[in-house]
Amino acid sequence: MRGVLSKQAAREWAKQQRRALTEAEYECLNTALLERLKALFNWQSITYIHVFLPILRQREPDVRPLLDFIRQEVPALKVMVPKVKDASLEHYYLLPGMELQMSPWGVPEPLDTAPLVAPSELENIDLVLVPLLAFDRCGRRVGYGKGYYDTFLSSLPHALRVGLSLLPPLEKIEDIEPHDVPLHLVVTPVQVYDFRLAAEKATHAHLIKTQSSVP
């Protein structure tokens, strides 16, 4: 059932659905999602992208092949990644061959010696790829409940917020709060969901490669 769920019920549903995937199913869904993502954007128009590195034990979308694509096709594109530190997110530039360490939650993270992104440089971000557990047909997102990304996204009103999901949407997540930041787009293996208002579509038009692929 993918009906009306609370945040906690949505989390449990998504975790259960992910756990039920075989390795072959996971890889097939992930490949289809990444191909749809690569075809969606005009990558030459993006100068700064913020990307999450996957918690593989949670069956999150694995964006590492996308990073290989970026290095090959748009090497000038600057890639940023987050790191949880002191109960908030810090942000680092991800460079080719950079050493990463595994956090207690299973997230690959830069070392503290990696190049730190200055707060003023976050304003340069064109596109944020956002992790999630579940989303609904209004673009509302549920993560793991810490609020790190809601705080981060609320500071970037100009950036295009794009969720990645191996699973289809719920009809509605019912206990959304004012501080929960909605997504502009969600890319799944099957289709792209567009939740933007008309003004937002105009703002981000130069980033979207094929408007017809976004219903």
Binding residues for ATP: 7-11, 141-149
Tokens 């609904």, residue? 136
Antiparallel, parallel or unpaired: β 88-93 and 78-85: antiparallel
Tokens 């009103």, residue? 157
The 3-class SS string of 30-59 reads HHHHHHHHHHHECHHHCCEEECCCCCHHHC
Q: How far is CA 75 from CA 49, 148, 160, 173, in A?
A: 12, 29, 20, 38
Task: Extract the annotated binding site for substrate.
Answer: 53, 60
Task: Extract the annotated binding site.
Answer: 7-11, 53, 60, 141-149
